[in-house]
Amino acid sequence: MRLQINHQKLKGQMADEPIIEVKDLVAGYEDTVILQDINFEVRRGEVFAVLGGSGSGKTTLLKNMIGLQKPLRGVILIDGTDVVAAEGEERLRVLKKIGVAYQSGALFGSMSVLTNVALPLEEFTDLPRRAIDMIAQMKLKAVGLQGAAYKMPSELSGGMRKRAAIARALAMDPKILFLDEPSAGLDPITSAQLDELILQLSRDLQITFVIVTHELPSILTVADRVIMVDKDARTVIATGTPQELRDQSANPVVRRFFNRQLGRDVRIDNG
Amino acid sequence: MEDTDKAAFDFRPGDHGQARLILKGRLDRDTTASIWRDSTQVVRQARIPRLVVQAGEVVYCDGAGVALLAEYKHIQREHGGQIEIQGLRPQFEQLMAVLEIDHLVAPPKPAGTITSFIRHAGFVLNLGQWTAGFVRSMGTETSFTGEVFAKLLKALTHPRGLRWKETLIIAEKAGANAVAITGLLGFLIGTILAFQTVAAMRQFGAEVFVADLVVIVLFRELGPLITAVLLTSRTGSAFAAELGTMKVNEEIDALTTMGLDPVQFLVLPRIIAVIGVIPLLTMFNMLMGLVGCGLVMVSWDIPGAIFMDRIRYAATLTDLFGGLAKTFVFGALVAGIGCLRGLQTGVGPTAVGDSTTRAVVSGLIAIIVADGVFAVVYYFLGI
């Protein structure tokens, strides 16, 4: 029996509550400030995108949010816990709430796809082997890769590798899934399939997505809200829904970015 | 409804082949483990024709909880029983619909009937595989040696085609940067050789001949050999790693598609650089070995003048150049094998490590074999 749930209603109920809060963030490396005055919040259950050109600091912002890099100043709260200040057990608790799928997939090449997905469960839970295998295969099924469970990462195509990385990120049932450039290097059809997968996981598993990308077609398909960071301004220059940014932004950088990337689409949309 | 941080179950057998399994609390990755074994064991052993799982008191359920519910279904299906899950909250039912799998995909079977027979052949199979691999490898190495030799001759007759700047940088890394470790090894070998022999030879009043022993051993054998072993582990492995990484990063393919020959571009500079520096390193190694020997002899009250006199008497140019002649071959082997293993690098994260290991192992074997060949040839030449 497949149950029909009013996802929009569910999303609406969850959407007001912030799950990530970034306050007065200054990010960079030692003396080099890459981003400053960054303030935004990600609401529970939404698909949130960080948009920007090459070198705009998107990945730096992501690294700060997932605790890989300490901000120069500011606060990042994940589900109420300061990820910057958290240490030891508290930090581990925060990390268990998030999953990250890296641009390259970052699968461990010496392990099968199933072992890659099962790894966090083996390391962080007391579940028996059969349970771990079941959960790992469930996650592979969720991303459409159940048949590739025993393949090695080198045997997967680019799109399959991204899916496997998402399955691994899903292994611990995270509340938030960070995706770094999920469409990079994929053909339009595979990219569209990945977008569909993100929408499906967001709808079915009620996971909050934070997607860092510069691929506008994907953003327009999947994102509920977007912020755009700019290399020259070193801060957030636009916030809103993807459609608002595309159609209503007065910021010349935003307009140039959208027109350049979506030139053909904009003309079609505008009739 | 009771909200709890733990998972709990209560199994209640009933009449008419029916039983109830009541689940309570959180079914997540941390709590599910506590009831997995016991609850599945109870259900498996009971072999109930109809199992009703009452999940109305489950307050949270994630992938682990779904896996547990799926496991009950699998157990019931195994013995032909029925199962009904009642009261599960809609969002968890939705999760179950998304995640639940019909069966676990089994790992691929590694062997069919013939393969299975061969697997049991064990030793014979291994021997056959090793022999086939050895023959293939010899073929590749012979072809590579021929290619390198031909291109080396061409490069020496047309030196402008060689990347001399790159060659000098490699020579600096392989030679100048290895001076200290080569000298230290030579010094220690000389010291140890002298120390081990001087006490025994003193019993016969022959301690002054320790210098003869050390100088002959160092010049003819240990100097070239120790230096070559050092270069294999230091430089040969580095070459394999460098070229292996380039192979993995498709840089070698890029060179080829640009019309540049990887052997000419990458291998020849390395071989020429190593052949150029290895005699110098060997001489330094020998010199430091003699210094170590001299220190030991002086500490055993043998005058330095006598030590120097014995060296002058014992060390012949034949010994010196006989030893140095080997180093050219050793150098070519170390660099050539390091580069070959690098170019043979496969795919995957362990490939570069494997290449490096193979470079060191086959480099060491090649050096020892070559040294043995030199020993036989020198014997027949009366050197």
What DSSP string runs through B155-187?
HHHSGGGS-HHHHHHHHHHHTGGGHHHHHHHHH
pLDDT attached to residue A1: 37
Q: Residue A197's pLDDT band (boundaries 50, 70, 90)? A: confident
Q: Residue A220's pLDDT band (boundaries 50, 70, 90)? A: very high
Closest CA to B307 of B199, B207, B200: B207
- The minimal CB distance from B105 to the residues A109, A124, A137 is found for A137
CA distance B80 to chain A (A): 20
* B37 Cβ under 8 Å from any chain A Cβ: yes
* B62 Cβ under 8 Å from any chain A Cβ: yes
* A173 Cβ under 8 Å from any chain B Cβ: yes
pLDDT attached to residue B94: 83
Torsion angle of the four alpha carbons B261, B263, B266, B270, in this order, in degrees rounded to the nearest 10: -160
CA distance A210 to chain B (A): 20
Query: Whole-angstrom distance between the N-terminal and C-terminal Cα of chain B?
Result: 97
B236 DSSP 8-state letter:
I
Residues 6+ apart with CB under 8 A from A126: B33, B34
- The minimal CB distance from B91 to the residues A2, A5, A172 is found for A5
DSSP string, B182-235: HHHHHHHHHHHHHHHHHHHHHTTT-GGGHHHHHHHHIIIIIHHHHHHHHHIIII
Q: Please report which helix (H) or strand (E) contains residue B58, including its range.
A: strand B50-61
Could you tell me how far CA B118 lies from the centroid of its own chain?
A: 28
Whether the model clears a pTM of 0.90, i.e. scores above it, the answer is no
Which tens digits make up the pLDDT trace of B88-108? 998 888 888 888 887 777 787
At residue B107, what are phi and psi to the nearest 5 degrees? Answer: -60, 145
Query: B100: which chain A residues are within 8 Å (Cβ-Cβ)?
Result: 138
pLDDT attached to residue B111: 54
Angle at A137 between CA A136 and CA A139, to 5 degrees: 65
Q: Is the pLDDT of residue A230 over 60?
A: yes
CA distance A125 to chain B (A): 6
Report H helices in chain B: 32-46, 63-78, 90-99, 113-121, 123-157, 164-174, 179-202, 210-217, 223-231, 237-248, 251-257, 262, 268-299, 304-314, 317-343, 351-381
Q: Residue A11's pLDDT band (boundaries 50, 70, 90)? A: low
* B107 Cβ under 8 Å from any chain A Cβ: yes
Closest CA to A27 of A38, A18, A40, A14: A38
Q: Residue A267's pLDDT band (boundaries 50, 70, 90)? A: very low
Residue type, B3: D
Token pair recorded at residue A228: 């755009």
Does the interface predicted TM-score (ipTM) exceed 0.90? Answer: no
Given phi > 0 = left and psi -120 to 50 = alpha, else beta, which region is A67? Answer: left
Per-residue pLDDT of chain B (383 residues; tens, 9 = 90+): 445 688 999 999 988 889 999 999 999 988 999 999 999 999 999 999 999 999 999 999 999 999 999 999 999 999 899 999 999 998 888 888 888 887 777 787 665 555 555 666 677 878 888 889 888 888 888 899 899 999 989 888 888 878 899 999 999 999 999 999 999 999 999 999 999 999 899 888 888 899 999 999 999 999 999 999 999 999 999 999 999 999 988 888 888 877 788 999 999 999 999 999 999 999 999 999 999 999 999 999 999 999 999 999 998 999 999 999 999 999 999 999 999 999 999 877 788 999 999 999 999 999 999 999 999 999 999 88
Contact B348 A172 (CB under 8 A): no
- The minimal CB distance from B29 to the residues A1, A10, A127 is found for A127
Q: Please report which helix (H) or strand (E) contains residue A15, including its range.
A: helix A7-15
Strand partners, A22: A40, A76
pLDDT attached to residue B127: 84
Determine the residue among B72, B83, B104 to mutate to test chain A binding: the one whose Cβ has the most chain A Cβ atoms within 10 Å: B104
Chain A, window 54-83: residues with a beta carbon less than 8 angstroms from a chain B beta carbon: none
Q: Residue A140's pLDDT band (boundaries 50, 70, 90)? A: very high
Q: Are A102 and A180 in contact (CB under 8 A)?
A: yes
Higher pLDDT: A2 or A149? It is A149
Q: What rounded mean pLDDT belongs to chain A?
A: 87
Residues A155-184, buried b or exposed e (16+ Cβ, 10 A)? ebeebbbbbbbbbbbbbbbbbbbbbbbbbe
Query: A130: which chain B residues are within 8 Å (Cβ-Cβ)?
Result: 71, 104
CA distance A135 to chain B (A): 6
Q: DSSP E strands: which ranges in chain A? A: 18-29, 32-43, 47-52, 73-78, 81-82, 98-101, 176-180, 208-213, 225-229, 236-240
pLDDT attached to residue A2: 39
- The minimal CB distance from A131 to the residues B28, B64, B105 is found for B64
- The minimal CB distance from A135 to the residues B67, B94, B97 is found for B67
Give the count of Cβ contacts less than 8 A between chain A and B: 95
Chain B, window 337-376: residues with a beta carbon less than 8 angstroms from a chain A beta carbon: 347-350
Query: A197: which chain B residues are within 8 Å (Cβ-Cβ)?
Result: none
Strand partners, B54: B22, B86
Closest CA to A101 of A208, A206, A181: A181
* A260 Cβ under 8 Å from any chain B Cβ: no
Contact B91 A146 (CB under 8 A): no
Which tens digits make up the pLDDT trace of A169-196? 999 999 999 999 998 888 888 888 889 8
Q: Is the pLDDT of residue A21 over 90?
A: yes
pLDDT attached to residue B235: 96
Residues 6+ apart with CB under 8 A from A112: A149, A150, A151, A152
